[in-house]
Structure 1
């Protein structure tokens, strides 16, 4: 494995943090009455990013022994890592400021929020480019990877925000149907992007074909098919699609209150959103674990 579990966790938490921020911003505009979702997304965002950065520092043992290595991250402008460091720094500052304003119950500065949205998207994209620019690993070196990571970031961000919100207010998560529609669309898009990436990369060279084979039928196939595809994607797609269908039917017959009453229970929400989060981590772990570099002779 080129990079380990800690890096997979960092990539996962960075994307989740960005997705939670974007989820809260969307909810604030589309559903101003869904206060819990807005506040939860804005508070967990900088917390998750902070945990991810701590993991990154712990993993960079040489950086702990040589602090100048971290300073170099801010000065080497030819490096994708330097650009990403600035993206994350600006996003972290905006997200932390907005979270503080929420805690203090003060009005959010719109300019700061727009800055946060911009750098949240940039951070989600960066998590894909961070490994995507490594040409020696064909599985990563594809334009689809940053798109996949952005889709997964927003998807896990929705899941993390909805899961946490459900523990605070079990009803509010049933009144954001357009957010659920977006979530299902993202999960379906994720399945499409994964297999499209596999088809394209596996035909590029032998190393890429080996990586894809390890995931589809080799060493990591059980985790891929069961953990990522079945549990992380298909189960949430089915459950949330059924919820949307039942909600639509109940709306037609009896209105909002009955529709909310007919929504799936708390346990179903916990299972669905937890499955999405597990799938998001497994996706990043597998992409790192199955990386087969090109051997130059």
Structure 2
């Protein structure tokens, strides 16, 4: 067989990584906000913060995805043909999430705060949109999995990993916002809420770490997937993975979350904000690493492997 060089894809870069991160974190924050509203009431600042974060984060992330599509007529053709691509199918999911999320967002600001008094309506919208939030989180992984030539993306573990990571970064986004509000004296007395979020996030970070291990174990069956793992774990993107994902994204926030949740160490509010920010950066680095290390499968004919310029299925 002729020698060939396996190359990572280059068409989907940082803009798509920003979309994957913001869409996941926004949907995750909304989920925890809606759950807190259903079981704790609208007065919960975890609820208010999560519901306020959900819509704008996903909306901003979607703008990055649209920007990555390039030419506007091309983007419109994709969106108007729901059977043509996973981007188009996801448009319905994300659009529905954003419409319902926008209602909750509006209910948190003047002059629409009267919506907060409509408890039954608020709870119905929240319960329905939790489903679309979950689909949004899963879709960020499904979108990549639809690109079949890239083995690193074509595994059922990727949507599961992105779901867990989105729930974790969503909780971190709420904790970061509450910590900043506490420091700025805008939202005083948030220690109890931050401690509860710390306990939740400690569980989610452990689950995410296990999901990463399972994901990496499940993606070493082909030559191109082994090259992807080499790039991620030992090659050009190893510092991004080990420092950005593992150290900043997992170890630092887990250490803080365990200390805060167990109450054996008084973690300063500024440290909560800093470690939550580290966790959020780790969530972005995870998605960027998965994108950047995606190696396309070469076409093989007559025992010869042909590697073509990098493109991804839309």
TM-score, structure 2 normalization: 0.84
Please name the residue that 1:112 is paired with: 125
Per-residue CA deviations over 1:11-43 (Å, capped at 9, x if unaligned) read: 111101101101111222444486322212111
Is the 2:46–2:193 Cα contact (8 Å) retained in structure 1? Answer: no
Matches within 5 A, 1:128-207: 128-168=141-181, 169-175=187-193, 177-202=195-220, 204-207=221-224
Distance 2:125 2:40 in 1: 20
Q: Which residue does 1:255 correspond to in 2?
A: none
Q: Work out the CA distance in 2 between the residues paired with 1:278 and 1:151.
A: 15
Q: What residue number does 1:61 align with? A: 70
SS in 2 for 1:201: coil
Q: By percentage of residues, which structure has more helix?
A: 1
**Alignment CA distance shift 1:276-1:134 (3 Å):** same
How far 1:178 moved relative to its partner? 4.3
Pick one of 30, 41, 46 that aligns with 2:50: 41
Alignment length (residue pairs): 279
Q: Unaligned regions of 5+ residues in structure 2, if any? A: 1-9, 182-186, 301-314
1:81 aligns with 2:81: no
Distance 1:120 1:71, change over 3 A: same
With normalisation by structure 1, the TM-score equals 0.88
SS of residue paired to 1:24? helix
The answer on 1:246 being equivalent to 2:252 is no
Task: For residue 95 of structure 1, report the CA deviation from its aligned partner.
Answer: 0.2
Q: Which runs of 5 or more structure 1 residues have no equivalent in the other structure?
A: 248-261
Match of 1:91 among 91, 94, 97: 97
Which residue of 264, 268, 272 maps to 2:267? 264
Selected match of 1:4 from 13, 18, 21 = 13
